[in-house]
């Protein structure tokens, strides 16, 4: 009997021990869970505090910007009040009427005065800024271009705005391209080419003068001709060859010092580039290619020599250039082969007789006011040299005369 009683007591003791152990474990796990919850809550509290601190910093920054904007608005209001009587605008109008033509910088200044005086709804204000974009050289007058683009957007005009023209990273409102954040607006928004959606018929969507200009180039050169009054004298210098594939053509960047005299007016040679086929037509027919030599004088006026190219014998000057085409360079990256020199004069015909007309750049932004001198005498390239030019078609179609006359040397 004692034996069984002992066994029963041992079993009961074991049960009690198990129960005590289970209770202890449950108690431990409960405390651990509470500890974990407290740790998690503490971390979440720290994160919330950090978020609040960040929000406070952004709020303080926003307050500072609002104060700055308020100050800017007061300055603008003061300017508008000062110009509201129209006296300054009247004086500037009277002064500029004496000028035959205004530069892009003066056009944008005139537009600004009109905007301050008459507001953005004045048609003459809009016209002044549109004229600015027609005249400005976009690669050298970015500030002027930006001022005109932003002003036109403020006037409710549909115009694409360059990424570089956004204000402090804030996209200016306009069309779809302009409403993208500045970091998303890239050159692709203004991409142009020679076919499809980027072809010449679409250039005017981003470069208005290409579609609306009245003195666009190239032209179909056809008589009757007026007598040319210009005498051309080229004085080109040999220099290190610098050649680049722009993505639209092959371009030579000459060393400074090569000049073209148009009567007594000196022009500096700024680049040489090629088109296939020729952009200019003679009696409705294209040549195999054309070489354009672009010059600029001290006033910023452009003069372009056009050298027509026929298929014929091999040309030594072109052989030198094509041998040194940039093969491993990115588009737009200049290549200067070591110890290679080039003289642009080797591309000119012996006879400087020419046709003359006022036109434009034949690529965007299609700036007008460019004097074009197309030589009557073509040069020759071999069929192989023509085919080696890396662009099969990079020529703008001929444009409307719009009443212009073409002059020619005798």
Percentage of residues of the chain with pLDDT beyond 90: 50
Per-residue pLDDT, averaged over 316-324, amounts to 97
Per-residue pLDDT, averaged over 123-133, amounts to 77
The confidence score (pLDDT) of residue 114 equals: 82
CA–CA distance, 259 with 262 (Å, rounded to integer): 10
Does residue 97 carry a pLDDT above 50? Answer: yes
pLDDT band at residue 178 under the 50/70/90 scheme: very low
Domains and CATH numbers, the chain: 87-211 (no CATH), 212-408 (3.10.200.10)
Does residue 32 carry a pLDDT above 80? Answer: no
Which residues neighbour 11 within 8 Å (Cβ) at sequence distance 6 or greater?
A: none
Does residue 170 carry a pLDDT above 60? Answer: no
pLDDT band at residue 13 under the 50/70/90 scheme: low
In three-state form (DSSP H/G/I as H, E/B as E, the rest C), the secondary structure along the chain is CHHHHHHHHHHHHHHHHHHHHHHHHHHHHHHHHHHHHHHHHHHHHHHHHHHHHHHHHHHHHHHHHHHHHHHHHHHHHHHHHHHCCCHHHHHHHHHHCCCCCCCHHHHHHHHHHHHHHHCCCCHHHHHHHHHHHHHCCCCCCHHHHHHHHHHHHHCCCCCCCCHHHCECCECCCCCCCCCCCHHHCCHHHHCCCCCHHHCHHHHHHCCHHHHHCCCCCCCEECCCCEECCCCEEEECCCEECCEEECCCCEEECCCCCCEEEECCEEEEEEEEEEECCCCCEECCEECCEEEEEEEECCCCCEEEEEEEEEECCCCHHHHHHHHCCCCCCCCCCCECCCCCEECHHHHCCCCCCEEEEEEECCCCCCCEEEEEEEECCCEEECHHHHHHCCCCCCCCCCCCCCCCCCEECC
DSSP lists the bridge partners of residue 342 as: 239
Which of 88-92, 288-292, 297-301 ranks highest by mean pLDDT?
A: 288-292
pLDDT mean across residues, the chain = 83
Does residue 295 carry a pLDDT above 80? Answer: yes
The confidence score (pLDDT) of residue 233 equals: 96
Q: Beta strand 379-381 with 302-311: parallel, antiparallel or unpaired?
A: parallel
The confidence score (pLDDT) of residue 168 equals: 46
Per-residue pLDDT, averaged over 18-35, amounts to 58
The confidence score (pLDDT) of residue 304 equals: 98
CA distances from 132 to 14, 74, 138, 145 (A): 100, 28, 10, 7
CA–CA distance, 135 with 131 (Å, rounded to integer): 6
Per-residue pLDDT, averaged over 179-206, amounts to 70
pLDDT band at residue 274 under the 50/70/90 scheme: very high
pLDDT band at residue 262 under the 50/70/90 scheme: very high
Query: CA nearest 334: which of 342, 343, 324, 344?
Result: 324
The confidence score (pLDDT) of residue 147 equals: 83
The confidence score (pLDDT) of residue 366 equals: 94
Which residues neighbour 211 within 8 Å (Cβ) at sequence distance 6 or greater?
A: 203, 204, 205
Per-residue pLDDT, averaged over 145-165, amounts to 74
The confidence score (pLDDT) of residue 137 equals: 60
Per-residue pLDDT, averaged over 219-241, amounts to 96
Per-residue pLDDT, averaged over 204-233, amounts to 94
The confidence score (pLDDT) of residue 3 equals: 59
pTM of the model: 0.64
The confidence score (pLDDT) of residue 52 equals: 80
pLDDT in tens, 301-312: 999 999 999 999
Q: Beta strand 368-375 with 354-360: parallel, antiparallel or unpaired?
A: antiparallel
pLDDT band at residue 182 under the 50/70/90 scheme: very low
The confidence score (pLDDT) of residue 139 equals: 53
The confidence score (pLDDT) of residue 169 equals: 40
pLDDT in tens, 334-373: 999 999 999 999 999 999 999 999 999 999 999 999 999 9
The confidence score (pLDDT) of residue 181 equals: 36
Per-residue pLDDT, averaged over 153-170, amounts to 64
Which residues neighbour 31 within 8 Å (Cβ) at sequence distance 6 or greater?
A: none
Q: How many residues does the chain have?
A: 410
What is the number of other CB atoms lying within 10 angstroms of the CB of residue 206? 19
Query: CA nearest 159: which of 84, 209, 226, 98?
Result: 209
CA–CA distance, 193 with 237 (Å, rounded to integer): 32
Per-residue pLDDT, averaged over 162-167, amounts to 60
How far is residue 233 CA from its own chain's centroid? 33
The better pLDDT of the pair 93, 21 is held by 93
DSSP lists the bridge partners of residue 275 as: 290
Q: Judge contact between 329 and 321, C-beta under 8 A.
A: no
The confidence score (pLDDT) of residue 10 equals: 67
pLDDT in tens, 112-126: 888 888 887 777 787
The better pLDDT of the pair 367, 184 is held by 367
Does residue 176 carry a pLDDT above 60? Answer: no
pLDDT in tens, 381-409: 999 999 999 999 999 999 999 999 999 99
Which residues neighbour 280 within 8 Å (Cβ) at sequence distance 6 or greater?
A: 218, 219, 220, 221, 286, 287, 290, 306, 308, 372, 374, 398
CA–CA distance, 111 with 83 (Å, rounded to integer): 13
Percentage of residues of the chain with pLDDT beyond 70: 79
């Amino acid at each position: 009997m004692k034996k069984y009683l002992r066994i029963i007591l041992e079993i009961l003791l074991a049960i009690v021990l198990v129960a005590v152990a289970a209770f202890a474990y449950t108690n431990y796990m409960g405390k651990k869970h509470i500890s974990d919850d407290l740790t998690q809550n503490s971390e979440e509290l720290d994160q919330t505090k950090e978020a609040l601190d960040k929000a406070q910093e952004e709020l303080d920054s926003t307050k500072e910007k609002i104060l700055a904007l308020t100050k800017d608005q007061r300055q603008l209001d003061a300017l508008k009040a000062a110009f509201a009587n129209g006296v300054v605008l009247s004086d500037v109008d009277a002064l500029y009427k004496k000028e035959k033509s205004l530069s892009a910088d003066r056009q944008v200044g005139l537009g600004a005065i009109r905007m301050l005086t008459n507001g953005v709804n004045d048609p003459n204000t809009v016209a002044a800024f549109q004229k600015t974009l027609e005249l400005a050289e976009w690669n050298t007058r970015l500030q002027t271009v930006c001022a005109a683009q932003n002003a036109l957007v403020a006037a409710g005009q549909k115009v694409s705005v360059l990424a570089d023209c956004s204000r402090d990273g804030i996209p200016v409102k306009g069309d779809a391209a302009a409403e993208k954040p500045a970091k998303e607006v890239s050159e692709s928004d203004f991409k142009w080419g020679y076919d499809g959606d980027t072809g010449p018929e679409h250039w005017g969507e981003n470069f208005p003068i290409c579609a609306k200009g009245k003195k666009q180039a190239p032209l179909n050169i056809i008589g009757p001709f007026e007598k040319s009054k210009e005498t051309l004298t080229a004085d080109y210098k040999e220099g290190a060859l610098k050649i680049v594939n722009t993505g639209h053509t092959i371009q030579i960047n000459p060393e400074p010092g090569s000049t073209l005299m148009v009567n007594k007016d000196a022009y500096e040679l700024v680049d040489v580039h090629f088109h296939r086929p020729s952009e200019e037509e003679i009696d409705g027919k294209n040549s195999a290619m054309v070489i354009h030599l672009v010059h600029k004088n001290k006033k910023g006026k452009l003069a372009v020599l056009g050298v027509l190219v026929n298929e014929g014998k091999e040309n030594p000057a072109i052989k030198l250039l094509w041998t040194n085409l940039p093969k491993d360079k990115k588009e737009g990256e200049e290549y200067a082969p070591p110890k290679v020199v080039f003289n642009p004069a080797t591309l000119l015909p012996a006879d400087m007789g020419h046709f003359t007309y006022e036109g434009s750049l034949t690529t965007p932004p299609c700036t007008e006011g460019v004097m074009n001198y197309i030589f009557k005498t073509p040069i020759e390239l071999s069929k192989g040299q023509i085919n080696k030019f890396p662009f099969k078609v990079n020529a703008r179609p001929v444009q409307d005369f719009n009443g212009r006359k073409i002059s020619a040397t005798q």
